[in-house]
Amino acid sequence: MARMSSQTVLISGASAGIGAATARLLATGGHQLILLARRPDKLDALAHELSSLTTVHTISADVRDSAAVRAALTKLPAFDTLSVLINNAGLALGLDKAQDASTDDWDVMIDTNIRALTHLTRLVLPGFVARKRGHIVNLGSVAGSYPYPGGNVYGATKAFVERFSLNLRADLHGTGVRVTNIEPGMVETDFSAVRFRGDDARAADVYRGAHPLTADDIAESIRWCIELPERVNINRLELMPTTQSFGPFPISRT
């Protein structure tokens, strides 16, 4: 099967975890990269690492600052050849039940996982449609399909991403623009450390003995989706570690 040739790829949340792993993998395939992340030190280190493999542009900005992202991105000549957006930036904060959760945490998750993702998508879509090619890859989660205690707003944001992805497919019918929602289960990155605000011991307990997916596993899934021939659109791709599956419905008995 003939695979897609070199493309210009924008990755949000690119400085660590799945974003950095995807950048490394795509660089080995000769794809040009635009890396967007908040932490300039990590971003610059990654760009330096990959500069011998491909062309790398960096944008140091909080993805929630749509105006700053727009100003920086539209100044790059590479923006005019952009063909893939990987909406990777996202987070979970806390694991409290809804009645105990922080609404400040809810706001950050909504702003990052929903508002920033939709704004960045809207920014690149006119160019994709005009060029009659492009690919939006959203990082969803199995939390968008399967609820768990404490997942409340995080899971709801990922359910939004899944539905937004499918609705984009409907809006983009006939344009040649592809849309994919990647929906991982447990992946060992700094996700849990962020969720638990740097409590590394608690974060490590999440993955202990579980043989979770790795950031490289998800990067490989993304690479496969974007390099398939343009006639192929992967709508949704759900993946879990073999050790993770489904439990029975809980019943509270009186």
* Residues belonging to the active site: 154
- Positive or negative, the CA dihedral 30, 5, 224, 43 is positive
**DSSP tag of 77:** G
Residue 109 φ then ψ, to 5°: -65, -45
Q: How far apart are CA 227 and CA 19, in angstroms?
A: 17
Residue 36 φ then ψ, to 5°: -115, 125
Would you state the torsion angle of the CA atoms of residues 209, 212, 216, 220, taken in this order, to the nearest 10 degrees?
Answer: 150
For residue 246, the Cα-to-chain-centroid distance in whole angstroms is 23
Residue 239 φ then ψ, to 5°: -145, 145
| Size of the chain, expressed as the number of residues it contains | 254
Contact 67, 44 (CB under 8 A): no
Q: How far apart are CA 180 and CA 55, in angstroms?
A: 25
